[in-house]
Amino acid sequence: MSNEDSSNAEFLQFDCARDSQRTLKDLLKKQLGQPVCVIGHNDDRKGQEAVFQNFNVRLAVVKFPDGKTLGYDPLELLLPCEIHEDGTAYFEIRQCRMCDQTFPLTSDEFWADVERVECPECAP
Ligand SMILES: [Zn+2]
């Protein structure tokens, strides 16, 4: 196995959105470097991508591409739709038409003929 292959394998261990897991909070194992999309309280950063660093009390500390680190409730950190082989995370974030909650699509939902328009709580 070449070095390149092993670095790809590292990316592939990160989690994507699934029926049972859509935010960082849902992950049993929260790995350093997990890509997330921030929907939290800080409007400047809303919708930006970041990577999980560690926990500071109950807050998940994430690092943005510009090097800034901030703490968020793990519920405010959405998982990617897909992570491609080069490690690039793709997010498909939608707003529920029933309750306005923001939620991430899973890969299956994104590629489905009819895309989900309600969040999993409104339309499980
Ligand atoms: Zn909803």
> Would residue 57 count as lying in a domain?
yes
Report which of 27, 3, 18, 9 is spatially closest to residue 87, judged by C-alpha positions.
9
CA of residue 22 to ligand 1 center, whole Å: 14
CA of residue 82 to ligand 1 center, whole Å: 22
Query: Considering its fold, how many domains does the chain have in total?
Result: 1
In tens, the pLDDT along 78-97 reads 999 999 988 899 999 999 99
CA of residue 102 to ligand 1 center, whole Å: 8
In tens, the pLDDT along 28-69 reads 999 999 999 999 777 789 999 999 999 998 899 999 999 999
> Would residue 52 count as lying in a domain?
yes
> Would residue 122 count as lying in a domain?
no
CA of residue 59 to ligand 1 center, whole Å: 24
> Would residue 121 count as lying in a domain?
no
Computed over every residue of the chain, the mean pLDDT equals: 90
> Would residue 119 count as lying in a domain?
no
CA of residue 11 to ligand 1 center, whole Å: 31
Geometric angle at alpha carbon 22, from 122 and 109, rounded to 5°:
70
> Would residue 16 count as lying in a domain?
yes
User: Would the pTM count as exceeding 0.75?
Assistant: yes
Report which of 6, 77, 10, 12 is spatially closest to residue 40, judged by C-alpha positions.
77
Report which of 77, 88, 90, 71 is spatially closest to residue 21, judged by C-alpha positions.
77
Domain of residue 33 covers 3-111
The secondary structure of 30-87 as a DSSP string is --TT-EEEE-SS-GGGTT-EEEEEEEETTEEEEE-TTS-EEEE-GGGEEPPSEE-TTS
> Would residue 123 count as lying in a domain?
no
